[in-house]
Structure 1
Amino acid sequence: MNFKLILFFISLSASFVLSFFLYKQWTLATWFDALFLIGLLLIMIYSMMVLIEGQFFTTFLKSTRNFFAKTNKKDQLIRESEKRSLESVSFRKEFPNRLAFLQIGLLFSIGSLLVSSAIYFLS
């Protein structure tokens, strides 16, 4: 089994469990609500992975480290005497299966939204 299929079944079973925890009784409408929430969670996980890969937080940390290093005279003198630079070694984090989170999240969110609206308007 590949990662996408495993993620799909884990998310589907989590939506069943979540519908029991949130609503105390299981109905089709509550299950679609829980499925929508799981889909949004998967989309948020994908978004965080994109931010981490794009090094958004790394540049923020580097700029604050630079600012405090330049304002602290004691550290600046130590750095000059040891002949160190402010630049630290950076690495790039890549997530191999991040697209699966987006695809399954969109499938769950859009699918449950369409079915929920059809149930609401046809009832």
Structure 2
Amino acid sequence: MNFKAILLLTSLSTSMLLSFFLYKSWSLINWANALFLVGLLLIMIYSMMILIEGQFFTAFLTSTRNFFAKTNKKDQVIQESEKRSLIPLTYRREFPNRKSFLQIGLFFCIGSLLVSFF
């Protein structure tokens, strides 16, 4: 089984369990609501992966680290004596299966909206 099939089965079982925990009884409408929530969660996970891959937060972390390094004289003296630079090593994080989260999340959201509509 590939990752997409595992994610799909795990998400479907999670939506079944979530409908029991949230509503204490199973019905098609309650399951559609839980399926929509799971779909939104998968889309949010995909969005976080995109932000991490795009290094959105690295600029904030680097500027904060540089600011505190320049304002703290003790760290500045240590840094000069050890001849360290302020530029940290950066790395790029890539998630191999991020599109699966988006596809399954959209499928769940649209499917639950159609079930709710009818």
Q: C-alpha offsets along residues 32-70 of structure 1, whole Å, 9 cap, x if unaligned?
A: 000000000000110111111111222211110011011
Query: 1:111, CA displacement in angstroms?
Result: 1.1
Partner of 1:27: 27
Q: Which residue is 2:17 aligned to?
A: 17
Summarize deviations over 1:76-107 as a string: whole Å, max 9, x none.
Answer: 12211221100111111100000000000000
TM-score by length of structure 1 reads: 0.92
Take 2:19 and 2:53, find their aligned partners in 1: how far apart are those partners? 33
User: In 1, Cα distance between the equivalents of 2:74 and 2:29?
Assistant: 63
Name the residue aligned to 1:121: none
Secondary structure (helix, strand or coil) at the match of 2:57 reads helix
What amino acid sits opposite 2:15 in the alignment? S
Unaligned runs of 5+ in 1: 119-123
**1:6 partnered with 2:6:** yes
In structure 2, give the amino acid aligned to 1:5: A
Partner of 1:37: 37
Cα deviation code 1:2-57 (max 9, x no counterpart): 10011001100110110000000100000000000000000011011111111122
TM-score, length basis structure 2: 0.96
Task: State the partner residue of 1:80.
Answer: 80
Q: How many residues align?
A: 118
Which aligned runs of 4 or more in structure 1 are off by greater than 6 angstroms?
A: none
AA in 2 matched with 1:52? I
Letter in 1 for 2:117: S
CA RMSD of aligned residues (A): 0.8
Where structure 2 has 5 or more consecutive residues not aligned to the other structure, the ranges are: none
Q: C-alpha separation between the residues in 1 aligned to 2:66 and 2:117?
A: 52
Distance in 2 (alpha carbons) for counterparts of 1:100 and 1:44: 12
- Which amino acid is the alignment partner of residue 47 of structure 1? S
Residues of 2 paired with 1:78 and 1:117: CA distance?
A: 65
2: distance between equivalents of 1:32 and 1:109?
Answer: 9
Percent of pairs with identical residues: 74
